[in-house]
Amino acid sequence: MNQHSSLNRTIIQKLKTITGKVLVSDADRISYAYDATNLHYLPDAIVFPENQEQVSNILSLAQEAEFPVVPRGAGSGLTGGSLPVKGGLLVVLTRMNRIISIDMDNLVADVEPGVVTGIFHKRVQSMGLFYPPDPSSSAYSTLGGNVAECAGGPSAVKYGVTRDYVLGLTFVIPGGDIVQTGVRTAKGVVGYDLTRLLTGSEGTLGIITQMTLRLLPHPKCVQTLVVFYASMHKAAENVSKIIRKGLIPKTIEYLDHAAMACMPLDFPGGIPDEAKSMLIIEMDGAPGQVHTDIQDVIALVTESQAISVTKAENSLQAQSIWQARKAISPALYRYAPDKINEDIVVPRSLIPDFVDKVDELRHATGLTMVTFGHAGDGNIHFTVMLDKNDPVAKKKADTVIESIFDYTLALGGTLSGEHGIGITKSGYLYKELNPGEQYLMKQIKKAFDPKGILNPGKIFPEP
């Protein structure tokens, strides 16, 4: 155990009594020091509770002994939400991974927080049902983490985000009280909406131990289009045009030239030489309707002088299009060893303005910048590639991020669509939230966690 641990021998002993096993070795602590940000902070100890009572006992002990508690699922977060920045106890919820029930009549599921998103997707799909939230990390991310961060994904333009699928929660607050909120029905207005307050609260208000999620019937048909454009502007403009026609695709993904260059060479149908950007458009619903909608989209993009438009011939081809899209993020490292990745959102009609701004900054700084993302809902993954050991590049990149954030807010956008604030964005919080709003949020934090033991150092910048 490290010297400065907030967890003494007696506490570790008590934690063992509660959960059966506590990891404290250096090797274990290092293994759990990371998330997807590449930052690392060592926890003092790690536990794996198996039920709500254990979580309650942990938070009762933590409140009494005043040590930090950090909840964590798969550690796939992109803003440091699950990093133990003040040390303390890491509570890994992956063993609470039961799908308790799936109710086909009422289209609700009861699940524990450690259920892997992708496993849940497959299970409900096998029953003809659909759970839309789909972060890129869905193969390993957990539903609890998705709720804590209010995860999104490519289909928010039509289906919304995690918040729109959380009907009820059970969570434990510091001190150990177990709180049940929400309902099992579409409607429910009894008291304040604690369910959505917890959703997206990044593990700072309570540890979620059970969730009631809303499901939909699985769309009977999906069709996928790939459209290439000679300019980023044309692609970006088409996004609004499609929506204005009253067509709401399941997905409109957008890739700029630098992002396209990171796709595998065997991309289905190839990539035209003159292509500077592309859209992946997916329509879903009943077969007849999807067919009509796809024809409408093809007509619209053709009128708008797209270079080419190709329909995936079967689900296998559609799958390889999506694999290519998901491969971009890791492949970006070919540009530089480090990545600063922001998930800003702008009103979708203003994506062309945002794209111009990026061009301007690219020319001004000479840095490699990549933009791609969920254009249908205006959520753009803006990435600066650099070598962080190069102080000049690092300084330029910081200025770029600051400019991008300011411009995003000027366009009526938001600093984070789906990754949350965590620690990486807390320094910028003041740009978006006015003092009144920050004051209320801090008061709410105090109400739930008066001693500040739960996931300390997150969201709100340290004074």
Closest distance of CB 335 from a copy of itself, Å: 26
For residue 380, how many C-alpha atoms fall within 13 Å in the half-sphere facing its CB?
Answer: 32
Q: Smallest gap, in angstroms, from Cβ of residue 47 to a copy of itself?
A: 22
Residue 76's nearest CA partner among 173, 146, 24 is 146
Angle at 195 between CA 189 and CA 197, to 5 degrees: 110
Q: How far is the CB of 265 from a copy of itself (least distance, A)?
A: 32
The residue behind tokens 């709500």 is 52
Residue (92 or 198) nearer to a copy of itself, CB = 198
Kindly tell me which of 87 and 457 has the beta carbon lying closer to a copy of itself. Answer: 457
Q: Quick count: other Cβ atoms within 10 Å of Cβ 155?
A: 22
Closest approach of a copy of itself to the CB of residue 316, in Å? 24
> With respect to a copy of itself, which residue has the nearer C-beta, 360 or 437?
437
Tell the smallest beta-carbon distance from residue 112 to a copy of itself (Å): 18
- Secondary-structure breakdown of the chain: helix, strand, coil percentages, each rounded to the nearest 5: 40, 20, 40
What's the closest the beta carbon of residue 181 comes to a copy of itself, in angstroms? 6
Minimum distance from residue 378 beta carbon to a copy of itself (Å): 5
Burial of 422 from C-beta contacts in 10 A (0-12 / 13-18 / 19+): buried
Nearer to a copy of itself, 61 or 252 (CB): 252
Please identify, using beta-carbon distances, which residue of 149 and 256 lies nearer to a copy of itself. 149
Beta carbon nearer to a copy of itself, 216 or 392: 216
What is d(CA 206, CA 99) in angstroms, rounded to the nearest whole number? 21
Give 161 or 454: the residue with its C-beta nearer to a copy of itself. 161
CB of 57 to a copy of itself, least distance (A): 16
Closest CA to 72 of 58, 89, 56: 89
Q: Which long-range contacts (CB under 8 A, 24 or more apart) does 240-243 make?
A: 240/348, 240/349, 240/351, 241/300, 241/304, 242/281, 242/297, 242/300, 243/157, 243/348, 243/376
Q: Which two tokens stand for residue 245?
A: 């026609």
CB proximity list for 29: less than 8 A, separation 6 or greater: 2, 23, 42, 43, 44, 45, 46
Smallest separation, CB 122 to a copy of itself (Å): 18
Which residues, 6 or more positions from 12, have their beta carbon under 8 angstroms from its beta carbon?
Answer: 1, 22, 24, 45
CA pair distance 350, 412, nearest whole angstrom: 9
Q: Which is nearer to a copy of itself, 57 or 201 (CB)?
A: 201
Nearer to a copy of itself, 39 or 197 (CB): 197
The whole-angstrom separation of Cα 317 and Cα 378 is: 26
